């Protein structure tokens, strides 16, 4: 039994390979197309077909009957209170639930529509009008006061950040978000410095802000169980040509940087959101008796078995063997009876061997592998474990020889008795 | 105390003597049966002791061995009572008929024992 | 006659299998005919008790299944193309006919032919036995009662003849009995009682020994070879009585032997010797046994046996045993409805057996007395009483008839002094009317005694026409054809066997209630609020939930009425389920005064989902429950984690799908989120 999520993932991944994918970009301000042209041209050079539409365009159409007209969605419409055409909050969520990727960018004035949409995806944006502020380590600039921030709090995942290797600080000006601590799907891709907090600019702080102390999330990623990836960023400016090309800046604490990392960061995170990276594929899930090939329906208790599967990772449009030492398999019946690390052979084949526990029942091989930035693997395969057959127990034990002897001697006595009894007159 | 033990001893001696005297009167055929009964009891006892020493692990083997001996004993007792000329309960019964029944039961017993032993 | 009597049911409801357990037996029989004997023995059933599985070969009493399997094979060997189902349906009636024969033989052995015939006649039509052996009731009891009576017959035969051959035959019949039914422990306890009673009333004979001792030795070994009994045959307290009596018997025999062989003086001396040493030895053994028995918490008794000895035990400690209606003490009138004429004639027969009191009749008396006691504790054991009652009634009736005819004959002889041959002829016609009057009552007997099959409940409509509600089969068929093969269906355990047999889907628990914790988990899920229940089900890989709801048509044994047992059993293992939360004002009720936990729990929701509107159309009242005759307490039942996928024609079977986790997590608690709560600082 392979979970449906997994199948969706494969299909989503396969469509990546196909010819140019259509990306719908919704804008509330047509100027963004020129002020953020570098971001879009980077996308185009990656081979995407970009369609710019105004968020309020009456002819907007995301779905034609049962068919999605675009594979990806980018929304630069923080202030849109309503979408045109057939798009509404429900359509957007449906789009995500169907396994399609989206990048949603807001600024410090997100509309209620944007806030509730993002909240339904699992990211809680700060209220309209708040700005992330840092009085200690802000970026010195003429116009932005203390709200332009350079953050280096990146998620520790090469799968998400990809070729963004120099980890230059990211310039950010906008609203912060938070993720529920119980969320298993959301991940903070870019955090805020310890000293930053979220607040209404120009107003006195009379109680401790909730989103502060490094808990603020600037760019968040969500991997829905439908396979969709959504990136939510709190700053429109972050993607702008101006920040992309900034020649150098200095922070209040005196650190000088020759450039911002925004261009590479935004591009790579978008690549991640669009399933170009961090996609895992499992094939060839297989288990058998040790040293055998065919996959049995059941095992006997204390049998030796071997378990293996192939995991591949999507890199640059091709599937490459996945290499990791932290993949585990569990052999579960109500509780995990066996938990084993899987070894891999650099060809993407992961395998292990273990002994079936001495408890019969219906077991599952469970692989539950959640690594930040990678598609979570949640696979289960049922197999029965049976007790010994009646003739599989050990027989003719040494300890039992006296009993056997007695039985034989009694039988001998029985025959002897017969002779004596019948012929003795 | 000493006296009671002596008493006991003399009593036992009397009993054994008279028992011996009476027992020699029983027919030889019955004596043969008795011998086998004693043998069966002995094997049963030995197995029981062995089980106490070694532990109950091959419990099915122990059961079959033990019950085989006990069963043999029980069947012998039955046979003995049937062919005992001193009792009049089974007047009309031929010893051969009784023995045939005995063999039948014995076969059944051994069949069951074999089935359960391994 | 006994056979044909039980076929009414086939005529009325076509050839189907009824009730719950028979479905399991049916399924196992199919397996036997397909896979053979050894595979059955080793069958590990992985579609039940998910994910624990059940070792069927080691936990089932295989007698019935072997019987049906052998019949099937024999019929096929004779080129009779017959379906397994037909074999199963007709097994019970066939064996009830055999049972009548066995009763005849037993009573004949005790009191002669006439009494045997009347006993057999009673046996053929005693309602309590009919109810268990109608065509289609393919249950262990069907063949076990025959085996029971047959063992008794062979034992009595051995007792009368003193032949080892009969004794070994009794041992073989006992093997069949052990293989058929857990009630074999009744035999293994009754025989020692009889044996002891004989010894202490001075009826110790060599015949008794020959009948008893080999049976115990062979029987114990045989019982131990049946996988389901295994070592219990020597380890459980139920069987100790037999060994105890076995020892006493030997001691008594030894004493008698010594008494015979020794002169009187020596005997007296030996007596003191044997007595002192014997007492020491016996007390040693007794201590050992007591020690062993005390070391286990239930004193080595199984729960069911304990509830037999102490009727209040089950309700105190094991709700799962108490929850089965068959295990409740019967109501007094049921003795008359179940045994009818036999119950009236029984005491007469009992008294008649005392003159003359032979070992054999002593046996029947003891049998009747113990059976009466046991049936007083558990309804189910009424079945054990039935043959005893029939035999006694047979004896009584025969005595009465004999007395009657004696008078008639005496008159005839005095007046006409006919030759004795004519007497016999005269007897025949005159006894006919007496019997005929019984036979004419037969349809009446079987009408009342036959149970209505649960899976096709029947009711009489207002115009006197008969409606058959076939919802169960409808529901199972839906499961079979509309769910994936690896679907796991959760329901209360009553429906486990039927789901596996009819729908061929995996179930969590079934009628073989061997794992109380697992059942308690299911009970807990049903008694939990929706979200928690959903989590429990997800953890157990459940895909569908099946509930039985009778409120629409007034089918009283539905899940809501069984629900308190779920709470009790669940609460027995998980203390967070408390019965008093589910009780409303004045007890258990489903209307607006019901307990709060009840209105919130999953079982309530699944039963009454969408019911308010539906009942408006049929009863003209929103949410009116026709079983409990009240308006339900909560009309607007909404489901978040379950989706209704099937509801049968009369709403009896409702099947829900357990929904997957949603694609996105929404509304997770987030202490840092400001959504929904205004911030003070923004006001300043």
Q: What is the pLDDT of residues A132-154, one digit of tens each?
A: 988 888 888 767 778 899 999 99
Q: Are strands A280-289 and A304-315 parallel, antiparallel or unpaired?
A: antiparallel
The whole-angstrom distance between C145's CA and the closest CA on chain B is: 24
CA–CA distance, C198 with C209 (Å, rounded to integer): 11
Of the given ranges (A216-220, C7-11, C35-39, C600-604), which has the lowest mean pLDDT?
Answer: C7-11
pLDDT in tens, C51-107: 888 888 778 888 888 888 888 888 888 887 888 888 887 787 788 888 888 888 888
Same domain, A85 and A203: yes
In DSSP terms, which residues pair with A132 in a beta bridge?
A: A198
- Chain C CB contacts of A178 under 8 Å are 670, 672-673
**Sequence-distant (≥ 6) Cβ neighbours of residue A225 within 8 angstroms:** A5, A185, C660, C661, C662, C663, C664
A249: helix, strand or coil: strand
Q: Return the axis-axis angle of helices C164-180 and C63-77, rounded to nearest 10°.
A: 100
Same domain, A208 and A289: no
**Sequence-distant (≥ 6) Cβ neighbours of residue A167 within 8 angstroms:** A152, A154, A161, A261
Q: Model confidence at A302, in pLDDT bands (50, 70, 90)? A: confident
Instruction: Bin C564: left if φ > 0, else alpha if -120 < ψ < 50, else beta.
Output: alpha
Radius of gyration of chain A (CA): 31
When pLDDT is averaged across residues A119-136 and rounded to a whole number, the result is: 89
Same domain, A325 and A401: no
Evaluated on CA atoms B100, B104, B110, B111, the torsion sign reads: positive
Query: What is the per-residue pLDDT for A170?
Result: 92
CA–CA distance, C617 with C450 (Å, rounded to integer): 35
pLDDT in tens, A184-221: 899 999 999 888 988 888 888 887 788 887 888 999 99
Q: Is residue B19 part of a domain?
A: no
**Three-class secondary structure assignment of C599-616:** HHEHHHHHHHCCHHHHHH
- Chain C CB contacts of B67 under 8 Å are 217, 220-221
Q: Model confidence at A177, in pLDDT bands (50, 70, 90)? A: very high
Q: Are strands C466-469 and C457-460 parallel, antiparallel or unpaired?
A: antiparallel
Query: What is the per-residue pLDDT for A270?
Result: 94
* Residue (of A104, A131, A102) closest to A27 by Cα position: A104
Cis bond upstream, residue A345 (ω within 30): no
Query: What is the per-residue pLDDT for A45?
Result: 92
Same domain, A352 and A414: no
Same domain, C371 and C513: no
Tell whether C193 is within 8 A of chain B (Cβ): no
Q: Is residue A2 part of a domain?
A: no
Identify the helix (H) or strand (E) that includes residue A26: strand A21-27
Pair A298, C44: CB distance under 8 Å: yes
Q: Are strands A101-105 and A72-76 parallel, antiparallel or unpaired?
A: parallel
How many domains does chain B contain in total?
A: 1
**Sequence-distant (≥ 6) Cβ neighbours of residue C515 within 8 angstroms:** C49, C52, C509
Classify residue A156 by burial, with Cβ atoms within 10 Å: 0-12, 13-18, 19+. Answer: exposed
The whole-angstrom distance between B19's CA and the closest CA on chain C is: 6
Q: Is residue C376 part of a domain?
A: yes
CA–CA distance, A38 with A47 (Å, rounded to integer): 14
The whole-angstrom distance between B44's CA and the closest CA on chain C is: 13
CA–CA distance, A205 with A200 (Å, rounded to integer): 9
Q: What is the DSSP letter of A18?
A: S
Q: Determine the structural domain holding residue A50 and report its residue range.
A: 10-275
Identify the helix (H) or strand (E) that includes residue A198: strand A197-199
Q: Is residue B1 part of a domain?
A: no
How many contacts, defined by CB atoms under 8 Å, are there between B and C? 104
Same domain, A220 and A299: no
pLDDT in tens, A153-172: 999 888 899 888 888 999 99
Chain-chain contact of A400 with B106 (C-beta, under 8 angstroms): no
* Residue (of C244, C227, C232, C333) closest to C290 by Cα position: C244
Q: Determine the structural domain holding residue B74 and report its residue range.
A: 27-117
Does the pLDDT at position A92 exceed 50?
yes
Same domain, C486 and C347: no
Smallest Cβ–Cβ distance between B12 and the set C162, C218, C273 belongs to C273
Chain-chain contact of B43 with A409 (C-beta, under 8 angstroms): yes
- Chain C CB contacts of B75 under 8 Å are 164, 214
Query: What is the per-residue pLDDT for A106?
Result: 92
Of B56-60, C437-441, C530-534, C549-553, which has the strongest mean pLDDT?
C530-534
Query: What is the per-residue pLDDT for C459?
Result: 37
Does the pLDDT at position A241 exceed 90?
yes
In DSSP terms, which residues pair with C291 in a beta bridge?
A: none
Tell whether A65 is within 8 A of chain B (Cβ): no
In DSSP terms, which residues pair with A25 in a beta bridge?
A: A52, A74
Smallest Cβ–Cβ distance between B32 and the set A395, A396, A421 belongs to A421
CA–CA distance, A78 with A128 (Å, rounded to integer): 10
Which of C397, C429, C454 finishes a domain? C397
Identify the helix (H) or strand (E) that includes residue A218: strand A217-223
Pair A24, A51: CB distance under 8 Å: yes
C392 vs C132: which has the higher pLDDT: C392
What ipTM does this complex have?
0.85
* Residue (of C330, C250, C317, C318) closest to C285 by Cα position: C250
Same domain, A287 and A301: yes
The whole-angstrom distance between C217's CA and the closest CA on chain B is: 6
The whole-angstrom distance between B42's CA and the closest CA on chain C is: 16
How many domains does chain C contain in total?
A: 2
Looking at residue A225, which CATH number applies to its domain? 3.40.50.880
Chain-chain contact of A406 with B68 (C-beta, under 8 angstroms): yes
Smallest Cβ–Cβ distance between A417 and the set B36, B61, B118 belongs to B36
When pLDDT is averaged across residues A110-125 and rounded to a whole number, the result is: 90
Q: Is residue B20 part of a domain?
A: no
Chain-chain contact of B61 with A418 (C-beta, under 8 angstroms): no
Query: What is the per-residue pLDDT for A365?
Result: 93
Half-sphere exposure of residue C175, counting CA atoms within 13 Å on the CB side?
A: 16
Q: Is residue C132 part of a domain?
A: no
Does the pLDDT at position C447 exceed 60?
no
Identify the helix (H) or strand (E) that includes residue C624: strand C624-625
Pair C488, C540: CB distance under 8 Å: yes
Q: A327-346 as b/e, with b when 16 or more CB fall inside 10 Å?
A: bebbbbbbeebbebebebee
Chain-chain contact of A96 with C663 (C-beta, under 8 angstroms): yes
Query: What is the per-residue pLDDT for C413?
Result: 52
Q: Is residue C442 part of a domain?
A: no
Q: Give, in degrees to the nearest 5, the angle at Cα C634 between C633 and C635.
A: 120
Same domain, C392 and C537: no
Same domain, A381 and A300: yes
The whole-angstrom distance between C672's CA and the closest CA on chain A is: 5
In DSSP terms, which residues pair with C625 in a beta bridge?
A: C630
Chain-chain contact of B43 with A400 (C-beta, under 8 angstroms): no
Query: What is the per-residue pLDDT for C303?
Result: 54
Same domain, A324 and A414: no
Q: Is residue C240 part of a domain?
A: yes
Classify residue A208 by burial, with Cβ atoms within 10 Å: 0-12, 13-18, 19+. Answer: exposed
Same domain, A410 and A340: no
**Sequence-distant (≥ 6) Cβ neighbours of residue A171 within 8 angstroms:** A139, A148, A149, A150, A237, A238, A243, A246, A249, A260, A262
Looking at residue C508, which CATH number applies to its domain? 3.40.50.12610
pLDDT in tens, C188-198: 888 888 888 88
Smallest Cβ–Cβ distance between C167 and the set B87, B90, B105 belongs to B105
Q: What is the mean pLDDT of chain C?
A: 76
Does the pLDDT at position C317 exceed 70?
no
How many domains does chain A contain in total?
A: 3
Q: Is residue B77 part of a domain?
A: yes
Query: What is the per-residue pLDDT for C533?
Result: 92
- Chain B CB contacts of C205 under 8 Å are 89
pLDDT in tens, C380-431: 777 788 888 888 888 888 888 888 877 666 655 555 443 333 333 333 333 3
Tell whether A381 is within 8 A of chain C (Cβ): no
When pLDDT is averaged across residues C447-458 and rounded to a whole number, the result is: 38
Query: What is the per-residue pLDDT for C564?
Result: 85
CA–CA distance, A412 with A406 (Å, rounded to integer): 10
- Chain B CB contacts of A407 under 8 Å are 64-65, 68, 110, 113-114, 117
Same domain, A340 and A235: no
Of the given ranges (A225-234, A349-358, C404-413), which has the lowest mean pLDDT?
Answer: C404-413
Pair C496, C509: CB distance under 8 Å: yes
Q: What percent of chain A clears pLDDT 70, i.e. is strictly above it?
A: 94
Compare all CA atoms of chain C with the CA of A390 and give the residue at the minimum distance. C42
Chain-chain contact of B105 with C164 (C-beta, under 8 angstroms): yes
Neighbour subunits, B (≥3 Cβ pairs < 8 A): A, C
Same domain, A212 and A292: no
Query: What is the per-residue pLDDT for C32?
Result: 85
Tell whether A410 is within 8 A of chain B (Cβ): yes
- Chain A CB contacts of C665 under 8 Å are 122, 180, 182-186
Pair A111, A119: CB distance under 8 Å: no
Compare all CA atoms of chain B with the CA of C211 and give the residue at the minimum distance. B78
Q: Give, in degrees to the nearest 5, the angle at Cα A44 between A281 and A232.
A: 65
- Chain C CB contacts of A184 under 8 Å are 665
Pair A266, A221: CB distance under 8 Å: no
pLDDT in tens, C321-349: 666 666 666 666 777 766 767 777 778 88
Same domain, A95 and A216: yes
- Chain A CB contacts of C680 under 8 Å are 206-207
Chain-chain contact of C52 with A178 (C-beta, under 8 angstroms): no
CA–CA distance, C373 with C369 (Å, rounded to integer): 6
Q: Is residue C77 part of a domain?
A: no
Pair A251, A139: CB distance under 8 Å: yes
Pair A151, A260: CB distance under 8 Å: no
Chain-chain contact of A410 with B40 (C-beta, under 8 angstroms): yes
pLDDT in tens, B20-40: 777 777 777 788 888 888 888
Q: Model confidence at A235, in pLDDT bands (50, 70, 90)? A: very high
Residue C577 phi, psi (nearest 5): -95, 120
Chain-chain contact of A403 with B65 (C-beta, under 8 angstroms): yes
Radius of gyration of chain C (CA): 30
CA–CA distance, C625 with A317 (Å, rounded to integer): 62
pLDDT in tens, C481-511: 999 888 899 988 888 888 888 888 888 888 7
Query: What is the per-residue pLDDT for A228?
Result: 92
Chain-chain contact of C221 with B112 (C-beta, under 8 angstroms): yes
Q: What is the DSSP letter of C593?
A: T
Looking at residue A306, which CATH number applies to its domain? 2.60.40.1930
Q: What percent of chain A clears pLDDT 90, i.e. is strictly above it?
A: 40
Query: What is the per-residue pLDDT for C307?
Result: 59
* Residue (of C197, C208, C124) closest to C160 by Cα position: C208
Q: Model confidence at A3, in pLDDT bands (50, 70, 90)? A: very low
Query: What is the per-residue pLDDT for A218?
Result: 93
A424: helix, strand or coil: coil
Q: Is residue B41 part of a domain?
A: yes
The whole-angstrom distance between A322's CA and the closest CA on chain C is: 26
Of the given ranges (A374-383, B49-58, C1-10, C356-365), which has the lowest mean pLDDT?
Answer: C1-10
pLDDT in tens, C540-564: 889 999 998 888 888 877 888 888 8
Q: A270-292 as b/e, with b when 16 or more CB fall inside 10 Å?
A: bbbbbbbbbbbbbeebbbebeee
Q: Give, in degrees to the nearest 5, the angle at Cα C388 between C385 and C394.
A: 135
Identify the helix (H) or strand (E) that includes residue A341: strand A335-341
The whole-angstrom distance between A422's CA and the closest CA on chain B is: 8
Q: Determine the structural domain holding residue C516 and report its residue range.
A: 467-658
Q: Give, in degrees to the nearest 5, the angle at Cα C296 between C295 and C300.
A: 120
Query: What is the per-residue pLDDT for A342?
Result: 92
CA–CA distance, C23 with C507 (Å, rounded to integer): 14
Compare all CA atoms of chain B with the CA of C246 and give the residue at the minimum distance. B74
* Residue (of A179, A187, A184) closest to A161 by Cα position: A187
Q: Model confidence at A182, in pLDDT bands (50, 70, 90)? A: confident
In DSSP terms, which residues pair with A257 in a beta bridge?
A: A249
Q: Are strands C653-658 and C544-548 parallel, antiparallel or unpaired?
A: antiparallel
CA–CA distance, A262 with A269 (Å, rounded to integer): 10
- Chain C CB contacts of B74 under 8 Å are 213-214, 217
Query: What is the per-residue pLDDT for C266?
Result: 63
Q: Is residue A15 part of a domain?
A: yes
Same domain, C384 and C272: yes
Q: Model confidence at A13, in pLDDT bands (50, 70, 90)? A: very low
Does the pLDDT at position A233 exceed 90?
yes
Does the pLDDT at position C596 exceed 50?
yes
Chain-chain contact of C46 with A120 (C-beta, under 8 angstroms): no
CA–CA distance, C186 with C380 (Å, rounded to integer): 13
Of the given ranges (A303-317, A356-370, B91-105), which has the lowest mean pLDDT?
Answer: B91-105
Q: Model confidence at A19, in pLDDT bands (50, 70, 90)? A: low
Q: What is the mean pLDDT of chain A?
A: 86
Of the given ranges (A329-343, B56-70, B86-100), which has the lowest mean pLDDT?
Answer: B86-100
Query: What is the per-residue pLDDT for A39?
Result: 94
């Amino acid at each position: 039994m392979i979970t449906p999520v997994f199948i969706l993932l494969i299909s989503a991944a396969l469509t990546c390979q196909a010819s140019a994918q259509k990306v719908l970009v919704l804008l509330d301000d047509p100027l963004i197309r020129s002020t953020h042209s570098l971001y879009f041209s980077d996308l185009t050079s990656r081979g995407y077909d970009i369609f710019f539409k105004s968020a309020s365009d009456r002819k907007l159409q995301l779905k034609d009957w049962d068919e999605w007209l675009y594979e990806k969605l980018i929304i630069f419409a923080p202030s849109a209170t309503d979408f045109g055409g057939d798009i509404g909050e429900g359509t957007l969520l449906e789009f995500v639930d169907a396994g399609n990727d989206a990048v949603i960018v807001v600024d410090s004035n997100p509309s209620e529509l944007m806030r509730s949409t993002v909240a339904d995806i699992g990211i809680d944006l700060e209220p309209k009008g708040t700005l992330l502020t840092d009085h200690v380590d802000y970026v010195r600039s003429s116009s932005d006061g203390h709200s332009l921030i350079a953050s280096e709090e990146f998620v520790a995942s090469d799968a998400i950040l990809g070729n963004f290797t120099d980890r230059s600080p990211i310039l950010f000006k906008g609203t912060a978000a938070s993720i529920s601590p119980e969320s298993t799907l959301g991940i903070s891709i870019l955090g805020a410095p310890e000293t930053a907090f979220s607040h209404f600019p120009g107003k006195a702080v009379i109680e401790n802000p909730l989103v502060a102390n490094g808990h603020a999330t600037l760019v968040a990623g969500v991997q829905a169980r439908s396979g969709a990836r959504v990136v939510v960023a709190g700053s429109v400016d972050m993607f702008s040509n101006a920040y992309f090309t900034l020649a150098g800046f200095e922070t209040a604490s005196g650190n000088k940087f020759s450039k911002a990392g925004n261009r590479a960061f935004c591009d790579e995170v978008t690549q991640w959101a669009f399933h170009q990276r961090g996609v895992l594929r499992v094939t060839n899930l297989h288990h058998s008796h040790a040293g055998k090939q065919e996959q049995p329906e059941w095992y006997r208790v204390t049998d030796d078995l071997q378990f293996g599967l192939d995991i591949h990772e999507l890199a640059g449009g091709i599937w490459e063997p996945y290499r990791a030492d932290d993949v585990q398999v569990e052999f579960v019946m109500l509780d995990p009876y066996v938990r084993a690390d899987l070894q891999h052979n650099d060809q993407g084949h992961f395998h292990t061997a273990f002994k079936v526990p001495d408890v019969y029942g219906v077991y599952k091989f469970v692989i539950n592998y959640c690594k930040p930035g990678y598609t979570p693997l949640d696979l289960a395969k049922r197999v029965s474990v049976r007790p010994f057959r009646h003739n599989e127990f050990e027989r003719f034990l040494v300890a039992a020889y006296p009993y056997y002897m007695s039985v034989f001697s009694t039988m001998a006595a029985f025959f002897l008795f017969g002779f004596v009894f019948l012929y003795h007159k | 105390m000493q006296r009671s033990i002596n008493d006991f001893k003399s009593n036992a001696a009397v009993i054994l003597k008279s028992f011996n005297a009476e027992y020699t009167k029983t027919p030889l055929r019955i004596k043969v049966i008795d011998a086998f009964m004693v043998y069966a009891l002995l094997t049963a006892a030995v197995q029981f002791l062995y089980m106490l020493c070694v532990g109950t692990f091959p419990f099915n083997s122990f059961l079959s061995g033990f019950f085989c001996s006990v069963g043999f004993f029980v069947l012998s007792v039955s046979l003995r009572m049937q062919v005992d000329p001193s009792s009049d309960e089974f007047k009309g019964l031929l010893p051969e008929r009784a023995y045939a029944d005995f063999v039948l039961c014995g076969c059944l017993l051994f069949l069951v024992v074999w089935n359960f032993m391994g | 006659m006994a056979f044909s009597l039980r076929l009414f049911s086939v005529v009325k409801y076509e050839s189907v299998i009824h009730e719950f357990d028979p479905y399991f037996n049916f399924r196992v029989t199919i397996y036997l005919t397909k896979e053979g004997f050894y595979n059955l023995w080793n069958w590990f059933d992985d579609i039940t008790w998910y994910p624990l599985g059940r070792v069927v070969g080691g936990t089932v009493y295989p007698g019935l299944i072997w019987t049906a399997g052998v019949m099937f094979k024999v019929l096929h060997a004779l080129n009779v193309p017959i379906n397994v189902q037909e074999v199963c349906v007709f097994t019970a009636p066939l064996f009830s006919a055999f049972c009548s024969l066995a009763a005849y033989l037993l009573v004949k052995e005790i009191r002669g032919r006439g009494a045997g015939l009347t006993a057999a006649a009673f046996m053929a039509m005693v309602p309590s036995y009919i109810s268990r052996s109608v065509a289609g009731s393919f249950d262990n009891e069907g063949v076990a009662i025959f085996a029971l009576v047959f063992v008794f017959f062979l034992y009595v035969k051995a007792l009368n003849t003193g032949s080892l051959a009969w004794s070994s035959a009794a041992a073989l019949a006992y093997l069949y009995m052990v293989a058929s039914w857990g009630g074999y422990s009744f035999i293994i306890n009754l025989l020692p009682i009889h044996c002891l009673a004989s010894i202490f009333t001075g009826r110790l004979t060599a015949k008794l020994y020959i009948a008893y001792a080999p049976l115990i030795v062979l029987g114990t070994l045989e019982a131990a070879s049946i996988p389901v009994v295994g070592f219990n045959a020597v380890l459980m307290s139920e069987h100790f009585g037999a060994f105890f009596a076995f020892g006493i018997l030997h001691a008594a025999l030894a004493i008698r032997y010594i008494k015979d062989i020794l002169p009187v003086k020596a005997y007296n001396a030996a007596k003191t010797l044997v007595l002192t040493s014997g007492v020491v030895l016996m007390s040693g053994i007794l201590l050992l046994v007591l020690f062993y028995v005390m070391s286990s918490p239930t004193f080595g008794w199984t729960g069911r046996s304990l509830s037999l000895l102490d009727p209040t035990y089950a309700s105190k400690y094991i709700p799962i045993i108490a929850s089965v209606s068959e295990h409740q003490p019967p109501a007094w009138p049921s003795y008359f409805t179940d045994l009818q004429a036999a119950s009236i004639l029984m005491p007469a027969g009992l008294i008649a057996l005392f003159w003359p009191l032979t070992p054999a009749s002593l046996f029947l008396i003891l049998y009747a007395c113990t059976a009466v006691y046991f049936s007083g504790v558990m309804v189910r054991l009424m079945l054990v009483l039935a043959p005893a009652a029939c035999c006694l009634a047979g004896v009584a009736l025969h005595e009465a008839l004999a007395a009657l005819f004696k008078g008639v004959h005496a008159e005839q002889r005095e007046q006409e002094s006919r030759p004795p041959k004519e007497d016999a002829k005269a007897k025949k016609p005159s006894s006919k009317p007496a019997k005929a009057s019984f036979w004419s009552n037969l349809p009446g007997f079987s009408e009342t005694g036959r149970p209505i099959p649960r899976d096709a409940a029947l009711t009489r409509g207002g115009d006197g026409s008969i409606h058959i509600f076939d919802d169960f089969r409808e529901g199972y068929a839906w499961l079979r054809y509309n769910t994936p093969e690896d679907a796991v269906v959760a329901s209360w355990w009553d429906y486990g066997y039927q789901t596996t047999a009819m729908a061929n889907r995996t179930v969590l628990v079934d009628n073989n209630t061997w794992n109380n914790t697992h059942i308690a988990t299911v009970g807990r899920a049903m008694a939990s609020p929706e979200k928690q229940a959903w989590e429990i089900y997800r953890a157990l890989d459940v895909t569908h939930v099946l509930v039985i709801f009778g409120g629409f048509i007034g089918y009283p044994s539905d899940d809501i009425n069984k629900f308190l047992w779920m709470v009790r059993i669940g609460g027995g293992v998980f203390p967070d389920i408390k019965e008093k939360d589910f009780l409303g004002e004045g007890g258990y009720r489903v209307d607006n005064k019901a307990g709060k936990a009840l209105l919130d729990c999953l079982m309530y929701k699944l039963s009454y989902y969408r019911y308010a509107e539906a009942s408006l159309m049929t009863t003209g009242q929103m949410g009116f429950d026709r079983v409990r005759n009240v308006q339900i307490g909560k009309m607007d039942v909404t489901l978040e984690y379950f989706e209704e996928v099937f509801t049968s024609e009369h709403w009896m079977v409702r099947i829900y799908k357990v929904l997957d986790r949603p694609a996105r997590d929404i509304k997770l608690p987030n202490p840092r989120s400001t959504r929904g709560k205004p911030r003070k600082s923004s006001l300043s």
